[in-house]
């Protein structure tokens, strides 16, 4: 995932959570809001409830890889919040969950 495809400012995360649409399952909660720029950007939120630093970083790498393999509509800010069950999930389960939630929100 390229740098310009990442949400980095806290205000972007807050705006997505406050004004966006949401969908969730046992692995993830996704929030999405229309962006004023034409690029779809992603923010990852993986809390300590998910696991230690090694587990969280491995999960973030898997999420980024799954997002890179997917096609998304242009002009969205998407926040992916991992739930503790995601730490135990395989890559294919992660990818399937993100595809399902993305299509439910209309961004994938």
Give tens-digit pLDDT for 67-105: 999 988 888 999 999 999 999 999 999 999 999 999 999
Cβ atoms < 10 Å from Cβ of 51: 18
Stated pTM of the model: 0.88
Q: List, for residues 6-61, the tens digit of each pLDDT value.
A: 888 888 889 888 898 999 999 999 999 998 888 889 999 999 999 999 999 999 99
Using the predicted structure, report yes or no on whether residue 1 has a pLDDT greater than 70: no
- In terms of Cβ atoms closer than 10 Å to its own Cβ (0-12, 13-18, 19+), residue 16 is buried
All structural domains of the chain: 3-105 (3.30.230.10)
């Amino acid at each position: 995932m390229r740098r310009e495809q990442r949400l980095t400012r806290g205000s972007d995360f807050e705006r997505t959570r406050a004004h966006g649409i949401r969908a969730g399952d046992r692995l993830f909660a996704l929030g999405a809001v229309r962006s004023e720029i034409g690029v779809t950007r992603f923010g990852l939120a993986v809390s300590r409830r998910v696991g230690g630093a090694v587990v969280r970083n491995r999960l973030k790498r898997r999420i980024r890889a799954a997002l890179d393999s997917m096609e998304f509509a242009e002009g969205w800010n998407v926040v992916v919040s991992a739930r503790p069950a995601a730490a135990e999930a395989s890559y294919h389960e992660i990818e399937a969950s993100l595809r399902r939630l993305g299509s439910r929100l209309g961004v994938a």
